[in-house]
Amino acid sequence: MASSYDRVMADIISEESFEAEALQFLESNAKPRVEVSKAWGEGSDSAVLFAERTAQEEMADLKSAQEWSRCRFDGGFGWITGPKEYGGRNLPSSYKRIYDALESRFEIPSQAVFGIGLGMVAPTILAHGTELVKRRYLKSLYRGDIVACQLFSEPAAGSDLAGLQTKAVRDADEWVINGQKVWTSGAQISDIGEIICRTDPDLEKHRGLTGFVVDMHAPGVEVRPLRQMTGGASFNEVFFTDVRIPDDHRLGEVNGGWTVALTTLMNERAAIGAGGGGVGSLSTGRLMEMMRHLGRANDPLVRQQIAEIYISSKVAGYTNMRAMAKLKAGQLPGPEMSIAKLTLTQNMRRTCDFISSVLGPKLVADSGEWGTYAWSQYVLGVPAMRIAGGTDEILKNIVGERVLGLPKEPSARFS
Ligand SMILES: Cc1cc2nc3c(=O)[nH]c(=O)nc-3n(C[C@H](O)[C@H](O)[C@H](O)COP(=O)(O)OP(=O)(O)OC[C@H]3O[C@@H](n4cnc5c(N)ncnc54)[C@H](O)[C@@H]3O)c2cc1C
């Protein structure tokens, strides 16, 4: 007998019918979202950018995220835009927007744990993976059965990613991996990783790289957590000792790994920038409340700061809409993604300056007062946002060179 999933896969559906079907699915499987009070002193005053959780809490979060992800996928809403042959529904992105808008009105477990897998690794597999890899992993990723991480950065290769040194050496129809990656978010709970390795040290550095999908449970993979200044340990060092990857798990051509990495990085900037100043605009109301309750509402300098945050979050939102319109029109993400990420993090920095000047010592000493010390988690998290997915300085170079047409930065090359 055909499952409900098979039935919806077979449907060609109007937007109106799709919306009705999605609403029925959500009403049957989730509770409507309860509006949280925004009044000063009421509800949670949490302002975290990176959730700090114990290993047990992390596993519990993963379990509930997976339960929802499976329910959504089996209901026909897990991969609305994906090709049917790999488990998607092959509908235009407007249908995905309809679903997302509806889902945001319901209480569902955070899906953040799938952010890297779905935002970056899955689109790269779809673009560059072998047929076997697409069939083995795409549906499992979108159904939340597996979690993926991004194994790019190394101790001596971050911004200069093409300088990475983790080696992959061919052995018949396998590759043998040796080396170290670092800052790998979510590696501790990942089942697969997208790794870029050096396959030909004699070629110019951007050309001697190859991408693979690696099994994170394979012998020789060792994950060691790194504790960050916010207190949590959400990223890791990952060591590879004689780890074997079948050649059919290669992404793209041998020595074509730079193109594979760029696909992932563009999707990463799109995923991070998709907030388009969202944090700035979301928090403006809370910042105004803070300003009033701490008696700073008439301070002209503080008022000027909040006006700048408000204006730049609006501008960031419009810039982001332009970038998203390009994506929706089927064009490749370009420098707009860099602008989107840069404007988001610049506004976060402005927000930090505002919070610091209004809260003063209350930001660093916990007086127990609602809505004060809690912001220290935000301030401590912002530097990471300014580094992850391309640092502010690197993005400024991209904007300077590719948008404004300024002369190119001199780049170091292997001799
Ligand atoms: C929260 C978080 C999550 C992350 N998750 C992952 C992950 O899952 N997988 C992964 O592979 N990596 C991850 N990273 C790593 C991230 O991609 C790197 O930290 C980033 O690319 C910067 O590299 P780096 O840390 O080696 O700094 P460096 O490249 O050494 O840069 C140091 C400083 O020099 C500046 N700089 C470098 N080159 C130039 C230049 N040409 N012009 C001007 N200034 C320059 C930089 O802007 C920076 O301020 C994560 C990082 C963070 C903060």
Q: What is the domain partition of the chain in residue ranges?
A: 148-255, 274-403
Look at ligand 1, atom 12, and give the residue with the nearest C-alpha.
153
List average pLDDT for each run of 10 residues in the chain, which is 415 residues long: 50 89 98 82 86 87 97 97 95 92 96 94 97 98 98 95 96 98 96 98 94 98 92 90 98 97 83 50 76 91 92 82 74 72 88 93 94 93 90 91 85 52
Separation of alpha carbons 266 and 317, rounded Å: 18
Q: DSSP letter at 408?
A: P
Encode burial over 280-294: b for 16+ CB neighbours within 10 A, e otherwise: bbebbebbeebbebb
Closest residue CA from atom 22 of ligand 1: 158
Cβ–ligand 1 distance for 184 under 6 Å, the answer yes
Residue nearest atom 31 in ligand 1 by C-alpha distance: 159
pLDDT at 277: 40
Q: Is the CB of 180 under 6 A from ligand 1?
A: no
- Contact by Cβ (8 Å): 135, 86: yes
Residue closest by Cα to atom 14 of ligand 1: 183
Whole-model pTM? 0.89
CA separation for the pair 12, 3 (Å, rounded):
16
Phi/psi for 277 (5° steps) reads 85, 10
CA of 76 to the centre of ligand 1 (A): 38
For the domain spanning 274-403, the CATH number is: 1.20.140.10
Is there an atom of ligand 1 within 6 Å of 394 CB? yes
Q: Looking at residue 283, what is its pLDDT?
A: 65
Q: Who's near 212: CB < 8 A, 6+ residues apart? A: 168, 175, 177, 194, 195, 197, 245, 249, 250, 251
CATH class of 148-255: mainly beta
Q: Are 88 and 81 in contact (CB under 8 A)?
A: yes
The residues annotated with a catalytic role in the active site are: 268
CA 381 – ligand 1 centroid, Å: 15
Neighbours of 146 (CB within 10 A): 18
Protein residue with least CA distance to atom 27, ligand 1: 158
What is the atom index within ligand 1 of the atom nearest the CA of 228? 1
Strands 250-251 and 209-215: antiparallel
Ligand 1, from 114, 183, 341, 382: best to mutate by most atoms within 8 Å of Cβ? 183
Tokens of 97: 């927007």
Among 116, 378, 387, 393, the mutation site with the greatest number of ligand 1 atoms within 8 A of its Cβ is: 387
Point out the ligand 1 atom lying closest to the alpha carbon of residue 187. 8
Q: What is the pLDDT of residue 411?
A: 66
Q: Can you tell me the distance from the alpha carbon of 346 to that of 74, in angstroms, rounded to the nearest whole number?
A: 40
What pLDDT does residue 237 have?
Answer: 97
For the chain, how are helix, strand and coil distributed in percent, rounded to 5?
50, 15, 35
Q: Which helix (H) or strand (E) holds 209?
A: strand 209-215
Q: How far is the CA of 325 from the centre of ligand 1 (A)?
A: 28
If you take atom 44 of ligand 1, which residue's CA is the nearest one? 393
**Does any ligand 1 atom lie closer than 6 A to the CB of residue 397?**
yes
